[in-house]
Amino acid sequence: MLTPRPRIFLRHLHVHLHTRTLHQSALRLGKIHKFKLADIGEGITECEVIRWSATPSTPLTAFDPLCEVQSDKASVEITSPFDGVLKEILVKEGEVAKVGEGLCLIEVEDEAVVDEGEVKKTEQQPQQTQPEQTQQQQQPTQQQQETRRKHPLDPSAPTPTSTREVLAAPSTRHYARSLGVDIALLAPGSGRDGRVEKGDVDKFVAGATAKEAGKGKQEVGKEGVKAGQGEEVVVELGRTRYGMWKAMQKSLEVPHFGYSTSFDLTRLHGMLPTLNASIPQYYLPSSQQQQKPMMVNPSAVFPAPTIGVPETSRFDKLTYLPFLLKTLSKAMMEWPLFRSSITPGTTGKPTLTIRPQADIAIALSTPSGLYTPTIQAANTQSMYGIAAQLKHLSHLGRQTPCGLTPKEMPKKGGTLTVSNVGAIGKGEYASPVLVEGGGVGIVALGRGRWVWDVEEGEGSGERRLKMGISWSADHRVVEGAELAAFVECWRSYVEKPEVLIGDAV
């Protein structure tokens, strides 16, 4: 009979066995865990790795940032689920990770019963480390969070002053250094989001003399344009634009019903100066806040309520859009159909889920692509609160990678989507496209124009401010008459904003 060997506890002991024994030893070993990409959203099957916050051999503690991934809908920061050491990165920056597949390998020190036959398979070399060194390895290094970089084409983006601020793969940086090229002179590069590629380095070396290299980044950019004239360039679709490709393909399955009209914003236009002059102090930028002395202290008995508004949400001018969203939410509360979302049934027969609040999605064009963040429960917010949310969403959308998170882009989204295309050009009407899962309707807001309306002024005509409104609704659940009546309900609030006072808005 074989006598079992005693159970021993060692730290970081690696053995090399040539024969498989029948007993087990309790060892304290560094177990390698494959960390897999979990499901981060409904319908998301893959994500692009944007940035790794940790490098191999980096000590980790639970909830330390590992990497940032971007799906069709938003960018998400992935954190470490446990303490350990990052051993290997399986999906590099710019590569696509599938849900359920490994992102990286993490060594976790854990007391476990290890089969010596399994240890034999690893063929690991004997190594014994000092306890002091082990403790030093286990001490996590503090990870400094990198601030999100602005898009390279953003006029407010800072000019790179060091190679660390330039988007480039480590191999490209090494290649540039080996040729004696300052990679900062090549930014923004020809890659996605201004990433410098090896081809940019080769073009610089081939076409620039020592004198031209000293002229700076601007002249190098001009030289690159001249060299690229008349040549075809193949550009790969980014993750967000490819997601839009797939969504538009799916939109062909939704039968659209279109409806167009125009709203008279003349009365609202007359109210804007008063509304802008009455913006609460906590919504104004810090530089514009004025501390007005009060003759009587409102907080003498009990502290008066205050609202903490982040600087990225503050504004100094109210536009038409917050008012249009607020009045749209009022109409949605009167029409439950437009607060509903379609839920596929298990038997093939879908159902409608009526929400208690008005959730409105906003079509947001960003440097990374098109996103639709949601203003939740818009009916419970003031026009100033909605304006603050719009300001914050715009700030997040301008970041690279996109700063929108699942908090701004929940799985359920909005039941209606608003696209403010009139803010870009002079278009008055459009044909918005409703995608599968994007609610029951979408509206495009055109450019406001002053026109002469012969129906006003008792037949003599008047100069009025008109805005084109273009709707597309899911004709599987919304009847044409219902959409027309709903739009007229919305019009009653927009064209007569004074009625909102009676509704205690």
Domain CATH for 279? 3.30.559.10
* 56 neighbors 88 (Cβ within 8 angstroms): yes
Q: Which of 138, 171, 203 is the endpoint of a domain?
A: 138
Please check the confidence at residue 218 and state whether its pLDDT lies above 80.
no
Is 67 in the same domain as 169? Answer: no
Is 216 in the same domain as 85? Answer: no
Does residue 1 sit in helix, strand or coil? coil
Least confident of 19-23, 44-48, 102-106, 197-201: 19-23
Assess if residue 7 is contained within a domain: no
Is 156 in the same domain as 206? Answer: yes
Assess if residue 8 is contained within a domain: no
Is 70 in the same domain as 181? Answer: no
What's the mean per-residue pLDDT of the chain? 78
Which of 364, 368, 489 has the alpha carbon at shortest distance from 414? 364
Least confident of 83-97, 289-303, 463-477: 289-303
Average pLDDT, integer, range 195-212 = 70
Domain CATH for 108? 2.40.50.100
Is 219 in the same domain as 262? Answer: no
Is 134 in the same domain as 154? Answer: no
Is 120 in the same domain as 216? Answer: no
More confident of the two residues 326 and 51: 326
Assess if residue 243 is contained within a domain: no
Assess if residue 233 is contained within a domain: no
Least confident of 117-126, 297-306, 440-449: 117-126
Assess if residue 462 is contained within a domain: yes
More confident of the two residues 181 and 27: 181
- pLDDT classification of 229: cutoffs 50, 70, 90: low
Q: Which of 80, 103, 138 is the endpoint of a domain?
A: 138
Per DSSP (E only), the strands in 37-179 are 46-52, 59-60, 65-70, 75-79, 84-89, 96-98, 102-115, 149-150
Note the Cα 107 to chain centre separation in Å: 31
More confident of the two residues 73 and 227: 73
* 372 neighbors 296 (Cβ within 8 angstroms): no
Is 41 in the same domain as 75? Answer: yes
More confident of the two residues 449 and 75: 449
pLDDT at position 170, please?
Answer: 61
Assess if residue 237 is contained within a domain: no
Q: Residue 220 belongs to what domain range?
A: 149-225
Is 37 in the same domain as 163? Answer: no
* 105 neighbors 88 (Cβ within 8 angstroms): yes
Domain CATH for 163? 4.10.320.10
Is 162 in the same domain as 84? Answer: no
Q: Which of 225, 247, 275 is the endpoint of a domain?
A: 225
Please give the tally of structural domains in the chain: 3
More confident of the two residues 239 and 484: 484
Please check the confidence at residue 319 and state whether its pLDDT lies above 60.
yes
Assess if residue 1 is contained within a domain: no
* 200 neighbors 207 (Cβ within 8 angstroms): no
Is 122 in the same domain as 154? Answer: no
Does residue 309 sit in helix, strand or coil? coil
Assess if residue 130 is contained within a domain: yes
* pLDDT, tens only, 145-165: 444 444 433 434 444 444 445
* pLDDT, tens only, 93-143: 888 888 889 999 998 875 433 333 333 333 344 444 444 444 444 444 444
* pLDDT, tens only, 406-429: 899 888 899 999 999 998 888 999
42, 135, 374, 439 from 412: Cα distances, Å:
9, 46, 9, 9
Burial of 478 (0-12, 13-18, 19+ CB in 10 A): buried
- pLDDT classification of 74: cutoffs 50, 70, 90: low
Is 172 in the same domain as 206? Answer: yes
- pLDDT classification of 298: cutoffs 50, 70, 90: confident
Note the Cα 226 to chain centre separation in Å: 35
- Strands 441-453 and 416-419, how do they pair? parallel
